[in-house]
Structure 1
Amino acid sequence: MNEVAKVIPLHGSGAGRDRTEHANRSRNRAEDSRSRHPSSYADTTPPIPLVPPVAAHPLDPVGPSDASQIAASQIDAAKTKLVETISDTAEFVRRRMAGDYVVDEFGYDPHFADALWLPLLRPLFDKWFRVEIKGIENIPNDGGALVVANHAGVIPVDALMASVAVRDHHPAHRPLRMLAADMAFEMPGVGTIARKAGHTLACNPDAERLLRMGQVAAVFPEGFKGIGKPFSERYKLQRFGRGGFVSAALKTGAPIIPCSIVGSEEIYPKIGDITPLARLMGMPYFPVTPFFPHLGPLGLIPLPSKWYIEFGKPIATDSYDAQASEDPMVLFELTDHVRETIQHTLYRLLAKRRNVFLG
């Protein structure tokens, strides 16, 4: 029985078909894998080159640091301020030497006040006491007006701060002409400066002349009783005198502007008075504070209390008849009205203040 051998072809069509099917299956598996994992194959598109960010480093030579820029700007500002100061000083000296300035009949020298005196007071006003102002618009832009304020602080710094407030912050930048006690003009040097700064004696003739000239005058009716009162009586108004300031306002028809100042009572807390020494020196009082006279000149540095100055609504006087200025009842009523207005405003400002030094 003849058997036919079964020959398995090595390179026949069946083997080729098997290899083709195997390749197709491999390719399909690869494509399926790529579809499931897109990151498994490389993108043939060339990448866009990126510029790496420059790392901030203290020693980085590219440009100055923020601290250097701030320091440079501060140096530039200081240089500019120095140049302006030198220029202003040179201009002041030139005008003084040439006589290019005007002095009025009271001795007021606006050039001296604006160029020399007020710049000395502004650091106290802006930086030390950090004065806040309210109601400055109640002072008229023109014509006479009488500002009436409370007085305190052992040394009358409150009057100086009020003058800076009106000159610098009023829309018309009007000068405030103080009516001061005789003693201010009897002290060597002080009287000359007071006259040049625009101030004069606290008397009715001078007050009436200033108001008729259309000036803004200021009076502190408490006088030495106000600035010399003990710390335990702070912000309690003393007697306002006999109403002389009201009489001057009535005769000229000038409005009265009540002014309340908070902060001045704490700059020199008066806890005592050396009366024999005050009499020997011809002074109304010789104050004792927690720092003076124990610390000598250092005790004269005022404490940096936070200040508030509020100018109240004008009290009109032009509706009264000509005889009102001689009527004791009218004078008393108006004086009491002004005093009560200032006192109530002081209480209101004190109620809002949370801290003597921070406000």
Structure 2
Amino acid sequence: MADAKVIPFDDDRSRGAGQRPPRRRATVSRRKGDAATVREVKAVPTGPDGGAPGVDETKPGAAGGEPSEPSGRRPRRDGRVRGEVSEADRAGEREAVARQVPEPRGGGGGGWDRRIAGGLAFLRRRLTGDYEVDEFGYDAELTDQVLMSLLRPIYDKYFRVEVKGIENVPSDGGALIVANHSGTLPWDGLMMQVAVHDHHPQQRHLRLLAADLVFMLPVVNELARKAGHTLACAEDAGALLERGELVGVMPEGFKGIGKPFGERYKLQRFGRGGFVSTALRTGSPIVPCSIVGAEEIYPMVGNAKTLARVLGIPYFPLTPTFPWLGPLGVVPLPTKWTIQFGEPIPTDGYPPEAAEDPMLMFNLTDQVREQIQHTLYKLLVQRRSVFF
């Protein structure tokens, strides 16, 4: 593996094709299926011979059915052929049936039927190309129905994540969520993504900014793009914020995720304040986020630096289980997590030239960092145990 070049978040310089993953334009394929005709059928009591009692079935309109035509189809006054169903009639019939058929409760058979039908429809759209991705490669349908479904059991049952302060995340418009980074492997970013989607009233999607190493790995690159992640640079972050997206950034980068276990919950340097500059340019609020529990999933007691240089990665972790237990050593410890979103810091009150003021960027960066660090200490005092 070639040496990974880490591009700082606040690097605004242009990049060539070899330095940055290519953007893919949206590819949309739409197919319009035939609308199904839905009719309401009323139950009619049967007589001894199987027909309706007291009804002459040879006459038109027997048993409440439609009158039969003696021969051919006669045009009606509105120009339509008798027996023909218009699109408006079909829509009305579907709406009437939907109102009369209750939604299944308690996960009954109807619920499973709906899930199976939804799964088959999802597979059909995947096979026929009837889905959309944005210019960054984000696939909202795949993220909601597959990736979130895979992460949710880990979030709910394994890490048992508790979320606080979700009301501090804006309901609409762009916002920059800044969080601490830890855990040897970036589970914290994925859990934060699930927390925002599942606990926010609007079920908003969090677009995470990732280092260029993520987009150099064959399989991880494709999954990260489809999950909404993009390169941690000011250009991409600004474009997403201007579109009103929620953007997540972890300014510690590899310094935070690869720090030794003895320095857990001690925030590393936040870079040169590139995320603050982007927030000022777009007028987006900054939401500090503190994550407790990720530091202990892989207690990093050592770092094989020589092996890391050979493999072209920032660090090679040595934990009590990895690499001694082989693949089993990659399984994280089931720690108890808490994710708390702090009060947003507004940036729309500053003039446009404020983004070029180094002193202001330093002060805002330090304010965000101190708020996250203070919340981490408070959460650590409140928790009863690492695992409970």
2:125 maps to which residue? Answer: 95
3-state SS in 1 of match to 2:218: coil
1:208 maps to which residue? Answer: 238
Alignment partners' CA distance in 1, 2:255 and 2:108:
44
What CA deviation, in whole Å up to 9, does each residue of 1:252-280 have, x standing for no partner?
A: 00000000000000100000011111111
1:24 maps to which residue? Answer: none
The structure-2 alpha-carbon separation of the partners of 1:321 and 1:353, relative to structure 1 and needing over 3 Å to count, comes to same
Q: Post-superposition shift, 1:87?
A: 3.4
What CA deviation, in whole Å up to 9, does each residue of 1:307-331 have, x standing for no partner?
A: 0000000000001111111111000
- 1:133 pairs, out of 143, 163, 182, with 163
- 1:110 pairs, out of 121, 140, 143, with 140
TM-score, normalized by length of structure 1? 0.77
> Is 2:276 aligned against 1:246?
yes
What CA deviation, in whole Å up to 9, does each residue of 1:217-236 have, x standing for no partner?
A: 00000000000000000000
Identify the structure with bigger relative contact order (alpha carbons < 8 Å, sequence gap 6+).
Answer: 2
Alignment of 1:224-243 (within 5 A): 224-243=254-273
- 2:380 pairs, out of 347, 350, 357, with 350
What CA deviation, in whole Å up to 9, does each residue of 1:284-311 have, x standing for no partner?
A: 0000000000000001110000000000
What CA deviation, in whole Å up to 9, does each residue of 1:231-254 have, x standing for no partner?
A: 000000000000000000000000
What CA deviation, in whole Å up to 9, does each residue of 1:128-163 have, x standing for no partner?
A: 000000111111111000000000000000000000
3-state SS in 1 of match to 2:237: helix
Larger relative helix fraction: 1
3-state SS in 1 of match to 2:381: helix
Q: Post-superposition shift, 1:83?
A: 5.1
1:165 maps to which residue? Answer: 195
Q: Considering only CA atoms, is the larger Rg found in Structure 1 or Structure 2?
A: 1
Aligned CA-pair RMSD: 1.5
> Is 2:227 aligned against 1:197?
yes
2:150 maps to which residue? Answer: 120
> Is 2:309 aligned against 1:283?
no
Paired amino acid for 2:216: E
Alignment partners' CA distance in 2, 1:176 and 1:87:
28
What CA deviation, in whole Å up to 9, does each residue of 1:26-81 have, x standing for no partner?
A: xxxxxxxxxxxxxxxxxxxxxxxxxxxxxxxxxxxxxxxxxxxxxxxxxx969778
Alignment partners' CA distance in 2, 1:99 and 1:145:
32
3-state SS in 2 of match to 1:284: coil
Length, aligned pairs only: 283
Residue segments in structure 1 that go unaligned for 5+ positions in a row: 1-75
Alignment partners' CA distance in 2, 1:253 and 1:122:
33
Paired amino acid for 1:264: A
> Is 2:177 aligned against 1:147?
yes
The structure-2 alpha-carbon separation of the partners of 1:223 and 1:78, relative to structure 1 and needing over 3 Å to count, comes to farther
Alignment partners' CA distance in 1, 2:150 and 2:287:
26
Q: Post-superposition shift, 1:115?
A: 1.1
Q: Post-superposition shift, 1:203?
A: 0.2
Paired amino acid for 1:190: V
1:68 maps to which residue? Answer: none
